[in-house]
Amino acid sequence: MRAVGYFVEGARKNGHKRSIGEQNQAFLDFCTHHGYEVAGTFLDTEDEPPGAGGFPQMLHFLGRADRGFTIVVVDSLGTLGPDLGQGALKLLEIEQTGVPVLLAHSGAEAFRELVETWADRGEGTPVSEKVRSAMRRKAVKGEALGRPPYGYRVGPRRRLELVPEESVVVRYIFRLYLQEGMGIRKIAGQLNSENVVTRRGGRWSMVTVRDILRNRAYLGHYSRFGTTVTGSHPALVSPEDFRKVQDRLQSRHGVTRTRTVQPFLLSGLLYCGRCGNKLIGVSRRQKWTVKSGEEKTAAYRYYQCESRTNQNSCAYNTQRVAELEERLRSALAEDDQPVTRLRRAGNVDSYLLDLHTQVDRIESRMKRNRRQVEELVADAAHGHITLERMKSLGGDLAREHQDLEAELASARERLHAQQTEAERRRHLEELRLRVLREWEQLSLADLQAALREVVDRIEVDDEDLRVFLRA
């Protein structure tokens, strides 16, 4: 049996800092007492940059097929992070490799002690957990939380009440779908043609119409945090009509249908040369029977103007995926480079703003991920779920956290490459040449990220293609 030691510079045990030497000695004593062979040690220092250091190296080692039966030993819970939330996240990441984590001084399972410590904190319960409990209590009473559904507003007693002009639209949507037999896209087009606007004054899309047709709030039921209060507010549709709508929605997709999502390389870069809206990726499958009776199928992938796809407006601007991507590749390789489009907000390039926004968005998702981990640990600490169930549910959150860390590192790397104008121009030219040179070898995700860094936007209308490079 083999043991791995994980040490952190400045880690605390019982409120006191522990030196690396003390942590190492506790690890060696553990191995001697329990008969473990030392497989290796990993260290994180206080000045280690994010994503580097001993922890990711240890995860890589633990993921190897030849590691044999291995455990990880830490000096205390403080080694895993300055607070229990960070400690829980690290434990989940380690245990995703199938390796348990034990405490050097007692040999106890680190996760079990963390949960017990969480339960003993009393007044130390995190604010997020207290807020969530309070919100659950409000939900049980039928009090509205967050933004009310279209057609309603929050009344003086925190109950949903009707907004007359919006509730008429909701009933109209259900009537068009159920009685007139119109599809979701045609309903969106009908509302837009009649100049009916959304709550924010925008145009209707397939998504907004579909969400209304699926929302059980229109039955007069209020659901939040797993709690449903019936008859909490005025209904806008009868249970019978709502059931018929759901049956029709379900029948269009099939009960056993599984959907495989194939990303589109140019998503987010394409714009319609006619209306200025984005072009989005669309997949279609066609089935037919030939004269011999043989059944044939074919799949088609193309980019289509979003105004036509989701809002039933604009002309028929459709581009086959392979053909358009090859036209872009040829345009990027031309000696006289495509027209350069400069977009600036103040004195800051828009792409830099996009990168900063992306970093902020990823960090926000990481905070949300951390809160979800804390809520799982709290549920285990209070006996709502078992420790094994918490680990199972937390595994997905740990994998999401690792993916987010990789996204954040990539975004920060791209941000660093844009720090000066001269460096940015050189970097973009090198990246353009790399895209052309390695187009076939790069993964779709890497090629897509590179194109979004080099290209500002692509405007297309039939055979007319205009590529705007970043500067």
**CATH at 102:** 3.40.50.1390
Are 191 and 290 within one domain? no
Q: Give the burial class of 53: count Cβ atoms within 10 A of its Cβ; 0-12 exposed, 13-18 middle, 19 or more buried.
A: middle
DSSP letters for 363-413: HHHHHHHHHHHHHHHHHHHTTSS-HHHHHHHHHHHHHHHHHHHHHHHHHHH
- Alpha-carbon span 20 to 377, nearest angstrom: 29
How many other C-beta atoms are found inside a 10 Å radius of the C-beta of residue 458? 22
In terms of residue numbers, what domain contains 291? 271-317
Are 232 and 151 within one domain? yes
Tell whether 324 is covered by a domain. no
Let me know if residue 383 belongs to a domain.
yes
286 domain residue, yes or no: yes
Q: Is 207 inside any structural domain?
A: yes
Tokens of 413: 């790397």
* Domain end point (choices 124, 157, 191): 124
For residue 170, give Cα distances in angstroms to 166, 174, 184, 243, 279: 6, 6, 13, 16, 28
Contacts of 211 (CB under 8 A, 6+ apart): none
Which of 317, 333, 354 is the C-terminal boundary of a domain? 317
If asked whether residues 292 and 200 sit together in one domain, one would say no
Position 129 in a domain? no
405 alpha-carbon distance from chain centroid: 12
Both 11 and 91 in one domain: the answer is yes
Q: Report the candidate in 252, 168, 240 with the shortest Cα–Cα distance to residue 206.
A: 252
Q: What are the structure tokens assigned to 180, written together? A: 């007139």
Same-domain check for residues 67 and 162: no
What pLDDT does 138 receive? 59
Asked if residue 301 lies in contact with residue 430, where contact means CB atoms within 8 angstroms, the answer is no
pLDDT at 145: 64
Q: Are residues 456 and 371 in the same domain?
A: yes
User: By three-state DSSP, how is residue 360 classified?
Assistant: helix
Q: Is residue 57 within 8 Å of residue 23, measured between CB atoms?
A: no
State which residues of the chain have pLDDT below 50.
122-125, 127, 254-258, 342-348
Q: In this structure, is residue 326 part of a structural domain?
A: no
Helix H or strand E encompassing 213: helix 206-214
Tokens representing residue 348 in the block? 């800051």
**Same domain, yes or no: 120 and 13:** yes
In whole angstroms, how far apart are CA 17 and each of 13, 14, 21, 26, 84? 6, 8, 12, 14, 17
pLDDT, position 350: 62
- 223 and 161 within one domain: yes
Asked, for residue 338, whether it belongs to a domain, the answer is no
Is the Cβ–Cβ distance between 174 and 241 less than 8 Å? Answer: yes
The predicted pLDDT at position 310 comes to 55
- On whether residue 183 sits in a domain, the answer given is yes
What are the distances in angstroms from CA 309 to CA 202, 219, 283, 465?
Answer: 16, 29, 12, 20
Provide the pLDDT for residue 36.
93
Q: Does one domain contain both 141 and 85?
A: no
Chain center to CA of 227: 25
Domain total in the chain: 4
Q: 209 and 310: one domain?
A: no
Q: 10 Å Cβ neighbour count for 50?
A: 10
Same domain, 97 and 149: no
Residue whose structure tokens are 């191995």 = 31
Tell me the whole-structure pTM to 2 decimals.
Answer: 0.49
State whether 77 and 115 are in the same domain: yes
Supply φ then ψ for residue 127, to 5 degrees.
-60, -40
